[in-house]
Amino acid sequence: NAGVTQTPKFQVLKTGQSMTLQCAQDMNHEYMSWYRQDPGMGLRLIHYSVGAGITDQGEVPNGYNVSRSTTEDFPLRLLSAAPSQTSVYFCASSLGVGLRAFFGQGTRLTVV
Amino acid sequence: KNEVEQSPQNLTAQEGEFITINCSYSVGISALHWLQQHPGGGIVSLFMLSSGKKKHGRLIATINIQEKHSSLHITASHPRDSAVYICAVTYYGGSQGNLIFGKGTKLSVKP
C-alpha cells in the first residue's frame, strides 16, 4: 500500500515549457486535490476532483489543467510555465471531502 | 473571507518542555485538522477533530467550538518533534468542503 505517489520530486523548467506532475493513490479515495505551497502562505488549492470524470477549480487555478480519467490518477498540467509558478506542489487524497487527507511527498518546481 | 490564524509563527523550545500551538478560525466548521510537515517536506495528518479532545502518544489536540479555537500540545518535547505544524479547517458551506490552511507554526526543539 504505497499511499499517495507524486512525481517528480524536483523539476526545473524554462519559461514557456509545459509539463505534467503525476499523482497516483492506491487507497480507492474519491477525493483528490492539488495544492501549492509558497513561503509565508498557507497551502492553496489549485484544482480538485470528487471522483473520476469530475474536476473543479480551487483558489488559484490559472495556468493549470487537470483531468481525472481513473479513480487512482490525478495529473496536474502546467500549460506554459511562468516564474510565478515556482513553488512546492502537493497532491492529496481522502475518502471524502473534509476527511483525513493523505499527502504526496511534494514536487519542488523552479521556473527560470 | 474565511481565515485560519495560527500562533506563534515560530517557536523554540528546550527538550522536555511542554509546547502549545494555537489555531483560531472565523466561522462554523465541520472539522479541524492538525498536520505536521518535516524538514524533508512531507506532510502527515496528525489529527482530525470536530469536538473535544484527541490524544496520540505525546500529542494532544483540543477544540473549543464556541470560542472557534483549537490547540495542539506536545508533552515532553524532543528534537525529533522539530517541524512545521499546520492547522486546517473545513467550513460548513465551503466549496465542496475543501480545506483552508493556516500558515503554519515552525517548531524547533533544542537538545
Span A64-92, average pLDDT:
97
| High-pLDDT (> 70) share of chain B, % | 93
pLDDT, greater one: B39 or A7: A7
Q: How far apart are CA B26 and CA B19, in angstroms?
A: 24
- The letter for the amino acid at A66 is V
Whether the CB-CB separation of A101 and B89 falls below 8 Å is answered with no
Q: A33 contacts in B (CB within 8 Å)?
A: 98-99
Mean pLDDT within A71-96: 96
Contact of B90 with chain A, judged by CB distance below 8 Å, is answered with yes
Instruction: Please judge whether A101 and B96 are an interchain contact, meaning their C-beta atoms are less than 8 angstroms apart.
Output: no
Q: Chain B contacts of A108, Cβ < 8 Å? A: 41
Residue A63 above 90 pLDDT? yes
Residue A66 has pLDDT above 60, yes or no: yes
Rounded distance between C-alpha atoms, residue B9 and residue B18, angstroms: 17
pLDDT at B106 over 80: yes
Residue A88 in contact with residue A107, Cβ under 8 Å?
yes
Q: What is the pLDDT of residues B10-59, one digit of tens each?
A: 999 999 999 999 999 987 888 999 999 998 779 999 999 999 999 999 99
Q: What 8-state DSSP symbol labels residue B16? A: T
Q: Is the pLDDT of residue B2 over 70?
A: no
Q: A106 in helix, strand or coil? A: coil
Q: DSSP labels for A3-67?
A: -EEEE-SEEEE-TT--EEEEEEESS--SEEEEEEE-TTS--EEEEEEEETTEEEE-SS-TTEEE-
pLDDT value for A108: 96
Residues A48-57, mean pLDDT to the nearest whole number: 94
What is the rounded distance in angstroms from the CA atom of residue A2 to the CA atom of residue A25?
Answer: 7
pLDDT tens-place string over residues B69-86 = 999 999 999 999 999 999
Closest Cα to residue A74, out of A16, A17, A18, A35?
A35
The shortest C-alpha distance from B45 to chain A (Å) reads 7
| Residue B40 DSSP code | T
Q: Which of residues 20-79 of B touch A (CB under 8 A)?
A: 30-31, 33, 35, 41-45, 48
Q: Which residue has the cell 506554459?
A: A80
Instruction: Kindly indicate the confidence band of residue B99, based on its pLDDT and cuts at 50, 70 and 90.
Output: confident
